[in-house]
Structure 1
Amino acid sequence: MHRQELSSMVLGKIQLMEGDTDNAIQTYLQALHLSPESTELLTTLGLLYLQNGLYPKAFEYLGNALTYDPTNYKGILAAGCMMQSHGDYDVALSKYRVAAASVPESSPLWNNIGMCFYGKKKYVAAISCLKRALYFSPFDWRVLYNLGLVHLSMQQYTSAFHFLSAAISLHHGNATLYMLLAVALTYLDDTENAKNSYQQAAGLDQ
């Protein structure tokens, strides 16, 4: 990384810490003008555009980053997320396979792979990948949430209850978690606790 590029990365990070996203983007764009093939700058800009909902620009910069470095983990994960959100599961999986070869112990990566399989209704493969994600990050409530969701889809309500309860113990403020737990409890004939979970979900939604 060139000295100018490094200085810009540091300045941009300071601006982001201060909540000044617009100026951070301008700082990174100016640095990119001097280092147009910098995968670090291209990926950072792509992620910032993604966070701001500017998907065409995000895709452009992430795509350029992957052109220069096809194994760029951050770029693959972000681009894969975008493809996944549009239902392009097979394309996303092909990207994730590249990342898995270089970063095989990434919990977010295995979580995304699992949810691609879930989108393709391949639930057994989804659970296998999500359990691998959980092994690498046992306190990630999002992985537990996804495991609960997949088990609900498979009508395995006891397992769904187990994972959703664990997710809630780590993250109390998500209404959807309580709603899914209520569904699992309803199928387990635990009417009283199902009602309590529905009420919790409704309270958080207000």
Structure 2
Amino acid sequence: MASADEIICNGHVITLPTLEVVKAVPIMAAGTNIDWLLHLYYARRDFIRCRIIIERELRSSLNPEYMYFVKGLIDREEGNNIEALRNLQKALDLNSKNIEIYKEIGKTLFIMGRFNQALDIFREAEELSPRQDHEICHFIGELLHRSAAAANQLAIARKEEAEAKFYFEKAVQAGKKLESFQRLAEILRKEKDYAKAIEVLENCLLLSPENTEVLTEIGVLYLKINDTQNAFDRLSEVIALDRKSPKGLLAYGAILQAISSLRKSIWLSPLNYNALYNLSLVYITAQQYASAFHTLAAAINLRKDSAECYMLLGICLRKLEDTENAFKAFQRSSDIQQQQQQQQDAGRNPLVHLNFALFCYETGRVALATEQFTRFVSSSQDLLLPTEYKFQATKLKSLLKVSTSNILTSTPTGLACDANAKPSDEIDSQLTGSANNNNNNSSSADNMSNKSIDDIYGIYGVKRQTAGTKQELHNTKAQALATAALAAASTMSAAEMPLEVHAVVNA
């Protein structure tokens, strides 16, 4: 008869293969280095076989340092921190220059809550390390950050907080540890340096693009600097990734709550122009362009001389791909703005001309875009422009390749900067013009407009003619515009221009 491990098949006895997949721990000759095998089992988290190898080879091994090291790590994984410290200390006694042992001892003390001792260990490791180690820098920054939070004296707390920030910056430079980016952004947020905190967290997204915690924090920081559009975009990503994120839903609802509040105010007061205007801004930020269109239509019925409403209407129509009516809305907003400037009204908004110029450039109306850009420069004199306006104007100037000398003939100071200049310096130069030039410019608005048009046509090779038929002039102008549009096409593809700059909420 065949045994339990054998079967009879076609008159032959066949031995069944064993079902044991993992073999027993191999027996090595005395003095053989088996650190590689120990590391292999530890990486597989096979702690039982690790202990078998350590207990068998510890006494006979010529170099038991790594065995004590691994044994300490296993003890810490199993929650026996005291025994882990003892084994790690034995490994350190055998090799007092091993940075990894210092780091693991410091981590164990950190887990045990002995923060002062852990800080001393990590500082010793920093002195011994031949290079900048991101783990050492991170834990030193973490321990200093905790110490600053628990400090009784304000001076000591500020000093430790500054040192913690320094070490987190070193950790970010030395390695890619997600917690280092988050801690550094947390400190920058406490310092109210929101722009720098956003930059740090945006870099953090390169490590973890779908981290909802980081995305939520970026959205909240954008709300801090009143950048509702970017905040809405980031928080929309959070909701798309995790519909049950409490913090993300709370911040997202804070933006949407503005819509319900404004709608309720309009229901209570249907003829409230400010409520309609602000609701349209919120709709545009939320990318609900059809709703924004209807709201703006109601606002325009109440105030037909509002250049800002027509400008926003043009933005909505552009987003709804109705470029023909969008052009009419932008043109109407520019005409109203020009009339108000000639009448010296208080409402002067250069953003109207900037948005119209961007739209004209996108749709191939290069000469008209240059004209509107010139009006933007003229109307923005003596005004403190936001950085975003300056940035968009700088990009548009470089794309239009506007000649500074021609602009100078129509505006006192112009944009006397290079196309590669910083946005903050680009339009600041035109804000420092003399008072005499400003007075001359304001007293001759009509002459300035006509002269600037002549100069713009001159850039593209077309000059206003004193004689000749209107059809000849129209054909020449159309040919020049077509040539300019083709010349700008390559530049347009290289540097895509956004359509609009966000408008300012009407108070």
Higher relative contact order, chain-length normalized (CA < 8 Å, sep 6+): 1
* 1:192 to 2:150 alignment: no
Distance in 2 between the 1:71 and 1:124 partners? 31
Partner of 1:115: 73
* 1:176 to 2:149 alignment: no
Distance in 1 between the 2:175 and 2:94 partners? 31
Matches within 5 A, 1:24-39: none
Q: Matched residue of 1:67: which SS?
A: coil
Distance in 2 between the 1:73 and 1:166 partners? 33
Distance in 1 between the 2:120 and 2:81 partners? 17
Q: Does the 8 Å CA contact 2:134/2:172 hold for their aligned counterparts? A: yes
Q: Does the 8 Å CA contact 1:141/1:167 hold for their aligned counterparts? A: yes
Q: TM-score, normalising length from structure 1? A: 0.62
- The one of 93, 97, 100 equivalent to 1:142 is 100
Cα drift, residue 68 of structure 1: 5.0
- 1:36-90: CA deviation from partner (whole Å, max 9, x where unpaired): xxxxxxxxxxxxxxxxxxxxxxxx9xx89x6352655422x22121111222223
Q: Does the 8 Å CA contact 2:30/2:61 hold for their aligned counterparts? A: no
Change in CA separation of 1:186 and 1:68 when aligned onto 2, cut-off 3 Å = same
Change in CA separation of 1:151 and 1:73 when aligned onto 2, cut-off 3 Å = farther
Cα drift, residue 119 of structure 1: 1.5
Distance in 1 between the 2:39 and 2:175 partners? 26
Partner of 1:50: none
Distance in 1 between the 2:65 and 2:146 partners? 30
Matches within 5 A, 1:1-206: 67-69=26-28, 71=30, 73-75=32-34, 77-103=35-61, 106-171=64-129, 172-189=131-148, 190-205=160-175
Percent of aligned pairs with the same amino acid = 11
- 1:5-38: CA deviation from partner (whole Å, max 9, x where unpaired): xxxxxxxxxxxxxxxxxxxxxxxxxxxxxxxxxx
Cα drift, residue 199 of structure 1: 0.7
- 1:101-158: CA deviation from partner (whole Å, max 9, x where unpaired): 2137622221111111111121101000011111111111111011011111111111
Q: TM-score, normalising length from structure 2? A: 0.27
Q: Which has the higher helix share?
A: 1
Partner of 2:258: none
Unaligned runs of 5+ in 2: 1-21, 149-159, 177-507
CA RMSD of aligned residues (A): 2.3
Partner of 1:12: none
Count of residue pairs the alignment pairs up? 143
Q: Matched residue of 2:33: which SS?
A: helix
